Every structure is written in C-alpha cells, then in structure tokens.
Amino acid sequence: MTTILDGKSLALSLRGKVKAEVETLKAAGHRSPHLAAILVGNDGASKTYVNSKEKDCEYVGFESSVYKLSADTSEEALLGLIETINKNEQIDGLIVQLPVPKHIDSIKIIESINPAIDVDGFHTLNVGKLAINEDTYISATPFGVIMMLEEYGIDTRGKHCVVIGRSNIVGRPMSILMSQAGRDATVTVCHRYTKDIGAFTRIADIVIVAVGIPDFLTADMVKEGATIVDIGITRVDADNKKGYVLKGDVDYEAVKEKSGAITPVPGGVGPMTRYGLLHNTLKSFKKKHNIA
C-alpha cells in the first residue's frame, strides 16, 4: 500500500513544536523571533506564498514584517532596504521573495543579505558551508524534504536517489544533503540535457523532481515501490472558480499506483518548505541570543 507523505499534517505538528518553544522563550523574558519578507511586484503565486508565511508566523508567535514594493522599484532602492534590515538587530530572518522583476539582478540581491539572517539559505556563504557539511541555514525546501523523509522513516542509506533538477536553490543542495553522512544515499543528478532520464529513474529507490513541468514524471519512469518526492508546483489554467489548478511535476494518480511513498501536490513539500523557514528563523534568533 502506498504511503502518502502528508506534508500538511506533518508541518502542522512541527509548527506546534516551534510554537511551544517560542512560548517558553517568551516566558523566560525573551522577545519573539522576527521574520521580514520583501515582495517586489504583483506575482500572484508569490503574494499567496508570502501571505501564508505571515499566517505561519502569527501561529507560532513570531513577529513578521512584509515590505511590499512596486514592480518598478529600482535595484538600488531594493539594495538600500536590504541594508537597512541587515542593520536591524530586532530582525532575525530576511527573505526576498523570488522571482524579482527582470531589471533586478537576483544574485546581487541574494548576496546583499547578511548571511547571519539569510534564512532562505541562498547566500554563497551558507551554500558553501552546506557543501562542506558545516552548520548553516539549509534552503527551506531541501530542508523540508529531508525532515519529511526522516519523520516518515524513509530509509536512505545505500539507496539510489535520482534528483531531477540542478538549481542552486533546490536541486544542488538536495543532492548534497542526500549524499551526506547519516543519509548516505548514492545520488545521480539529472537535468534538461540528460539523455533518457527514465533510464536513471527506473532504477532509483528515491526520485526527487524539481523541474517545474507538470506531469513530467510518468508511471513508466519509476520502479515498483520507489519513494517519489514532487517539489514542482505550477498553476495550470482550468475552468473553475480560481481559473487554475495546481499541478506537480509528477503524474500523481498514475505514479501513486506504483510507488511505495509519494508526496501530493498541493499538501506535500510546500507546507514543509514553510516549516523550514520557521525553523531557520528560530535558529537565527537562538544564535543571536546564545541559546542552546
């Protein structure tokens, strides 16, 4: 029987633990951890995601600040805002919601964030620490996936894991985490130039997909009993009240019949990504206040 890796329920449970820890910290006289987010432009998915983060912060007892900037905001103005937040000792975490408008260099923006409050884990310093297995902020999505696999007891040691996608935000850190000591998977990274990706996924024990192409992974590309983690989420036009449906990178209904465990979309990796952000913000707060 297929195990549904229910990220929504798991994230709710884990957020409850964060909430309890925040209550303990406040009872000891500490202020609440504070997460700041910058949203540039009017991208619908980004607005929805930032709104969800605000609700998560409220639930666990964090302070949250959202800076909403128009799409024509200059790169210089955005860098100035980031510098101001970097200097604010009352803010423990800062994220700039991606994507940013095309006239803004996203790499320059990421590198301008103080690594100590880079709770998205995108800064070169934090990515480098991850690569050499030093303590750091792990990108929220890969962190959420690792937590999900651990909480559901998915065995990774000695397993063959195929990661489809090589972005600096998801694919690359995911491959590093899966091969690290303690997880000990043998990792293959596939991408758009990989010939016959199915030849790799059909022999994989774990497939992690992050390509942003709806229904990319089909049933004939997976072996019986494999664990399937679907990181992709795309709005597809539909004749309904919203005008769209959310689709993952996996042909869910068909692949579910063959897999041993699988994440749904929505309700799988997404909520765990949001938990990862809370975890990193609390970690930053505790570092700042020398709390073990």
Tell me the domain boundaries of the chain: 29-114, 140-270
For this structure, is 53 an active site residue?
yes
Give the helix/strand (H/E) hosting 111. Answer: helix 106-112
Q: Is the pLDDT of residue 147 over 90?
A: yes
Chain-centre distance for alpha carbon 175: 14
Banded pLDDT at 43 (limits 50, 70, 90):
confident
Banded pLDDT at 49 (limits 50, 70, 90):
confident
Single pTM value for the model: 0.94
What is the predicted pLDDT for the residue at 237?
87
Kindly state the tokens that stand for 151: 């909480």
| Closest CA relative to residue 96, chosen from 43, 175, 142 | 43
Active-site hit among 56, 92, 118, 120? 120
Kindly state the tokens that stand for 232: 């992709």
Q: Is the pLDDT of residue 47 over 90?
A: no
Q: Assess contact for 207 and 226: CB atoms under 8 A.
A: yes
What is the predicted pLDDT for the residue at 42?
87
Banded pLDDT at 194 (limits 50, 70, 90):
very high
User: Measured between alpha carbons, how far is residue 89 from residues 93, 111, 122, 224 in Å?
Assistant: 10, 19, 21, 52
Helices 124-131 and 171-179: crossing angle in degrees, nearest 10, is 30
What is the predicted pLDDT for the residue at 122?
96
* CATH superfamily label, 29-114: Leucine Dehydrogenase, chain A, domain 1 (3.40.50.10860)
Q: Is the pLDDT of residue 44 over 90?
A: no
What's the mean pLDDT in 216-243? Answer: 94
More confident residue, 49 or 92: 92
What's the mean pLDDT in 276-290? Answer: 97
What top-level class would CATH report for the domain 140-270?
alpha beta
What is the predicted pLDDT for the residue at 183?
97
Q: Is the pLDDT of residue 61 over 90?
A: yes
Active-site hit among 92, 97, 118, 251? 97
pLDDT over 70, % of the chain: 100
**8-state DSSP, 244:** E
With a CB cutoff of 8 Å and minimum separation 6, the contacts of 285 are: 25, 33, 34, 92, 291
For this structure, is 72 an active site residue?
no
Domain 29-114 shares a fold with domain 140-270: yes
Give φ, ψ of 223 to 5 degrees: -95, 160
For residue 268, the number of C-alpha atoms closer than 13 Å in the C-beta half-sphere is 27
pLDDT over 90, % of the chain: 91
What is the predicted pLDDT for the residue at 292?
85
